[in-house]
A and B are shown apart, each in its own frame.
Chain A
C-alpha cells in the first residue's frame, strides 16, 4: 500500500486528481463558511431571483450569482457546495458501513469455512450477479425515498464487493503457519481475525473502497435524479441536476451544467486515483 501511494509520484495526472478531489472535499466541508448564501434558508433565498444567468447581481443587492440561480432563486454556487456536502456524506457513510459489514463478513467467511462460508458466499454471488444500481433501486422501490433508506440501499448493494475481496485476501493468509500456530494457542477467534487476517487484506480493500466510493456517488446522484433519493428541501447534486433539467428546453443550461460538472469531477478524480492504486498493486493487470 505504501509503495502504491509512493508510485503516485510518477503519475502527475493521478496526483493532480487526488489534489482536486481533496479540494472538493474541503470545499464541501467548509460549505457553511465559504458559500455566499445558505440555500436552505428561505429568509435569504429570493424567489424573484429565479433562473438568473451566471454573473447576475442579486435583486436585493449584496452579492453576485457567479453561477446563476436555479428555479427557486437559490444561488447555484452555494447550492452546489451544500449539495456536494450531502452527496459526500451519504456516499462516505454508506461506503464505510458497507466496508465494515463486508470486510467482517468476508473475514468470518474465510476463517470459519464450511457452511458459514457457503451461505455468505452464495449470497454474495447472487447480489454480485445484478448491477449495483438495480439492487439499490430495488431497495429504494420497496423502502421508499429518504436519506436513511438511500444509505441502506447503498450498503446492501456494495457490501458484497468488500466481502469478496476481504475473503480472498484472508484465504491467502489462512494457509500460513502462523495462523495455525495462533489457532493452536487457542487465541480467541475474533483476535485472530482482527489482528492477523484484517491487516493483510487492507491494500486490496483500499482499492475497492476508492472505486466503490466513486460508484456510490454516482448511484446516489442517479437515484436522487430519479426522485428516489434525498429530500427536496435539501437537494444533493443529483437532485440539483434533475431540477436543472426541467429548464433544459428553455435554454437555461447553467442549472444543469454546473452541478453536473461538480459531480463528474468528483467521480472522475476518485476513479483515476483508484485506477492508479489498483494498477500499482496488481502490476500484471496494468
Chain B
C-alpha cells in the first residue's frame, strides 16, 4: 500500500511537471512573451528592460527553471487588467466555484442515485426504459442551452429564482459562502441544477449498470436463499458493490464540474474561477489564463490521486494486497 502510494504520487508529480512544461512552451511558442507581459504602449527600452528583468534573454531551459521556481513560491505572474497577483485573483474566486461544484455534486447524486437504483433493480421495465432514454436526452442537451432554458423558465417566466449572480454571502467556519443565507440558496439553485443534470445522467447510467449486474449475481441469489429482506439486499449487497466503481466516476464528475462549471458560471454570471478565465481570455490577460490553467490542472491531479486512494480503501480485495476479481 505504501509503495503504491509513493508510485502514484510520483506519477502525479510527473503529470504536473509535464503539463506545466507544455503550457510554458505553448505560451512562449506562440509569440514573444515580453510583448504579452508588458503593457501594449511600452517603449522599446522598456521592453528590453522587462526582457532582462524577466530573465527572458536566457536559454529556454533556464527560463523554464526560473518559471518553475516561481511556481513553487506561488508566483504565477501579475494580471495586467486587475494589476494584482494572479494567484490572489484565482484564489479569491475559488470559494464561489467550489461551493457551486459542491451543490451540483450533491444534487446530481440526489437525482442520479435513486433513479439509477430503480432502473437497475427493474431492468427492462417501462420505468427503466424511460429513465435510460431520459438520461440520454439530458446528456444530449448542450449544457449552456439547458442553462439558458432554466433561466427562461424559472427566472424570466415563473420568477421563482434570480437569473444570475451570487446572492448574499455569510461566513461559516471562516469561509465566505452563500450557502448560509436564503438569498444565497435561491441564487445557487439554478446554476447548481444546470451543472447537476448533466452529471446526473452519468450517475444514472453507471448506477444502473452496476445494480443490474449485482442483482443478477450469485451472491444476491445466495443472500435471498438466506432469507435476507429485499431492502437490505438492494442497499447493502448490491449498493455496496456499486459504490466502488461509483467513486471513480464521481472523481470524473468532480473534474466535469470544474470544466463545465466554466460554462455554467458564464451563463449564470456566477463570480467564480471559470468566469474569471473567460473574462481574461476576452481581454487577453495572459498571466491569469496561464495561472488559471495551472491551478486547475493541479486540482485535477489531486482529485485523480484522491479518487485512486479512495478506490483502494473501499475495495478490500485491493486494500489487502490481493488482486481484484
Kindly provide the distance from the CB of A126 to the nearest chain B CB, expressed in whole angstroms: 6
Q: Does A218 contact B (CB under 8 A)?
A: yes
Q: Does A225 contact B (CB under 8 A)?
A: yes
Chain A, range 202-258, C-beta contacts under 8 Å to B: 214, 218, 221-222, 225-228, 238, 241, 245, 248-249, 251, 253, 256-257
Kindly provide the distance from the CB of A129 to the nearest chain B CB, expressed in whole angstroms: 6
Complex alpha-carbon distance, A266 and B47, angstroms:
50
User: Main SS of the interface on chain A?
Assistant: helix
Chain B, range 285-311, C-beta contacts under 8 Å to A: 289, 293, 296-297, 300, 304
What count of chain B residues pass the 8 Å CB interface test? 42
Q: Does B73 contact A (CB under 8 A)?
A: no
Supposing A129-B15, A225-B144, A264-B141 touch, asked if A142 and B30 sit within 8 A by C-beta, the answer is: yes
Cβ B143 vs Cβ A222 within 8 A = yes
Kindly provide the distance from the CB of A231 to the nearest chain B CB, expressed in whole angstroms: 15
Closest residue of chain B to A285 (Cβ to Cβ) is B209
Cβ A268 vs Cβ B15 within 8 A = no
Inter-chain pairs besides A248-B148, A268-B136, 15 sampled, C-beta below 8 Å: A129-B15, A130-B300, A131-B258, A138-B23, A141-B277, A142-B26, A218-B142, A226-B263, A226-B266, A241-B145, A245-B267, A256-B148, A267-B141, A275-B136, A285-B209
Checking B139, B141, B258, B266 against A134 with a beta-carbon cut-off of 8 angstroms, the contacting residue is: B258
Checking A129, A214, A249, A257 against B140 with a beta-carbon cut-off of 8 angstroms, the contacting residue is: A214
Supposing A249-B163, A260-B145, A272-B136 touch, asked if A137 and B262 sit within 8 A by C-beta, the answer is: yes
Contact with A along B254-269 (1 / 0, CB 8 A): 0110111011001100
Complex alpha-carbon distance, A46 and B198, angstroms:
39
Cβ A264 vs Cβ B296 within 8 A = no
Cβ B140 vs Cβ A260 within 8 A = no
Contacts of A30 in B (CB 8 A): none
Kindly provide the distance from the CB of B140 to the nearest chain A CB, expressed in whole angstroms: 4
Cβ A268 vs Cβ B140 within 8 A = yes
Contacts of B255 in A (CB 8 A): 130-131, 134
Complex alpha-carbon distance, A140 and B148, angstroms:
23
Contacts of A201 in B (CB 8 A): none
Kindly provide the distance from the CB of A138 to the nearest chain B CB, expressed in whole angstroms: 6
